[in-house]
Chain A
Amino acid sequence: MKNSVYLKILFLVLSGILGILGGIEFVELRNYKETVVVSEDFTEMIMLSEYLPSLKGTWGDTPIYIYDSGVPGGSMLILGGTHPYEPITTVAAYVVMENIKVESGKVYVIPHANMSASTLGMLGNAYPKYFSVETPWGSQKYRIGDRGTNPLDQWPDPYTYIHYPSGQNLAYQDIRNLNRTFPGRANGTLTERISFAIMELIRNEDIDIFFDYHEASLMYPVVSTYVAHDDAMDIGMMAAMMLSATQFPMKIEASPKNLKGLTHREVGDFSDALALLMETPEPFIDRVAGRMTEELMVDGIDEFVQTAAEKGLVYCDYDIKEGFTDPLGNVIIGAPLDYRVGRHLSGTLEAVNWMNMFFPEKALVVSFPGYAEVMENGTGYYLHDPSKADPSRVFKN
């Protein structure tokens, strides 16, 4: 049997059309820009490549937003989007950037710590490309990315990833996982260089307190938790206890000494900053979650995760039927976006408060909406309309 050449060409063309249709969406996601309107206390935007020139012109380069009060005081660095498949971290960073007031000290925010990873979907996980936050002036669209750097920017993977400098063996794809490549190498892979540049920023600017925003699957024991480096343990413990008593349940874990490459371990070890990582519950990334939809990302309501919760397999409060009540009286059903954004905001504020109490010489006086406000008014209320804002304060990421 000899198949007709025309038929072969036809199949090729049909596959090509499929490729083009898919390709258009890939290109669109890679080039979609999120809009953010920075607050009036904003002073300057620089690129990460200022701390490592070899990042210039690569997808590893990413904007750093600086809010300098001009008054001496502590300094803070916030990372959003270390894992872009936990996109609420970026939204929380945007809410900080849009509303922050700095009375003393200096604040740095990197909303997309791994820009490259935010430009593709996660292979095999069938995520939607975007999700939207409703605001009083319309809806604002954000990307849902991958866990690791885009292979189009860093290729190939080794057959096993060996962490620098500890020599610890890790699964091969973790070489593109920004939360496994710290403290990084100036001449390493793209992801290692991003880590190194962030470390350079922390060291050169004498960052006092460092936050890495994350989201976790509910079946992961370290969910709804601060993970604190030894030096930041006291701050984290007081903040966690305070938050649990007055706002929402928050746990605290010590950064394990033998687990290398993670920000809370390496930033603490390789700089003077007090390093904290925060995890919110994100049913969207649970292994057992059902249909992958935008609603799941925004509302965090999933029946399969509920089953897991009922069997005692999840490590935080979760109920999609009656919800649970936080100390402020809010009833939380599922794990909605506002809840997750609010947790990051108050988690940051509370820890900064305790840093100020423990180290008065590092006093950093900042304010932005917290959990109570976001739960009351919704996240969208704190996002500003770019079309009505001063163009010099509108940025694209």
Chain B
Amino acid sequence: MKKTLVVLLALLILSTTMVFALVTGSPVIKGQLPFLLTNAGQGPGGKMARLLIWQSKAIQETDFDYNAEPLRDNPNDLAARDYKMLFVIIGSSAKGLGASGITIEEEIARLNKMIVEAQKLDLFIIAAHIEGKDRRGNPGSADEQSIDAIAPFADYLIVMKDGNQDGKFTRIAQEKNIPLTIIDNTIDFMQVIKQMFPTE
């Protein structure tokens, strides 16, 4: 029972509109609707973000679409609706290797195509790395390749603190002059969403 209480308490804290020091760095930018949520690297991050957006209750479920692999089968994915933003969650998967996984080369090729297409459509690109150091790897790994394919082309970066221990995202932000918001924990992504889409 005590355990349940702790969890409920934590939830309560998280669901207040009060902002703790959980979200730091550049002020959260104002969001535009509708947007397309996707992921780079085929990790669980995209679904996690979708879930957190639902849980935040800041916007309607119909205000955004989730597509795990836009442009893989359908070249019109980015123009399926009048999207204003492309919201990319970066992170690969550690699930089974070989045939059970994805080939990262194909994934990167798709991501490159997606960025070009998004820029052509003049979408506001948000790159978010919200799973921390577990989704960082050696140079050349699926995680790093995914970051390199997306982050430098973003208009806005959201990164979890311990995923930026080596300062890679800070460097990208400075070089490309991209605003960078830092969160303490994955779950604080909910706060970012709430600030992005404040309910009057």
Contacts and interface: CB of A to CB of B under 8 A. Distances in A.
B70 to A, nearest CB: 19
A233 B49 CA distance: 12
A146 to B, nearest CB: 24
Contacts of A394: none
Nearest to B22: A245
Interface string B26-64: 000000000000000000100110011001000000000
A151 interface: no
A293 to B, nearest CB: 30
A242 B100 contact: no
Given A346-B3, A353-B7, A241 B48 contact: yes
* Interface class of chain A by DSSP: mixed
Contacts of A237: 44, 47-48, 51
Interface in B141-200: 184-188
A189 to B, nearest CB: 24
Interface of B: 1-4, 6-7, 10-11, 44, 47-48, 51-52, 55, 93-96, 99-101, 131-132, 134, 138, 184-188
B47 A233 contact: yes
Nearest to A260: B100
Contacts of B1: 101, 367
Q: Which of B1, B6, B95 has the most CB of A within 10 A?
A: B95
Interface in A241-271: 241-242, 244-246, 249, 251-259
Nearest to A103: B1
23 contacts: A221-B94, A234-B47, A237-B44, A237-B48, A241-B187, A242-B7, A244-B132, A244-B185, A245-B10, A245-B184, A245-B185, A246-B7, A246-B10, A252-B44, A252-B48, A253-B93, A254-B44, A254-B95, A256-B95, A258-B99, A350-B7, A353-B4, A367-B2
B48 A256 contact: no
B100 A259 contact: yes
B158 to A, nearest CB: 15
Interface string A208-229: 0000000000000110010100
A329 interface: no
A245 B52 CA distance: 14
Contacts of A258: 96, 99-100
Contacts of A221: 94
A39 to B, nearest CB: 14
Interface string A346-379: 1001100100000000000001011011000000
B16 to A, nearest CB: 15
A315 interface: yes
A312 B100 contact: no
Contacts of B134: 249, 251, 315
Q: Which of A101, A238, A252, A257 has the most CB of B within 10 A?
A: A252
A367 B3 contact: yes
A372 B6 contact: yes
Contacts of A225: 94
B159 to A, nearest CB: 15
A256 B55 CA distance: 26
B138 A312 contact: yes
A237 B184 CA distance: 17
B93 A367 contact: no
Contacts of A350: 7
Nearest to A239: B7
A376 B95 CA distance: 33
B51 A242 contact: no
A252 B135 CA distance: 11
Contacts of A372: 3, 6
B100 A254 contact: no
B166 to A, nearest CB: 12
Given A258-B99, A367-B3, 15 more contacts: A101-B1, A234-B51, A237-B47, A237-B48, A241-B52, A246-B6, A251-B131, A252-B48, A253-B95, A254-B44, A254-B93, A258-B96, A315-B94, A315-B134, A349-B3
A249 B163 CA distance: 13
B44 A233 contact: yes
B55 A238 contact: yes
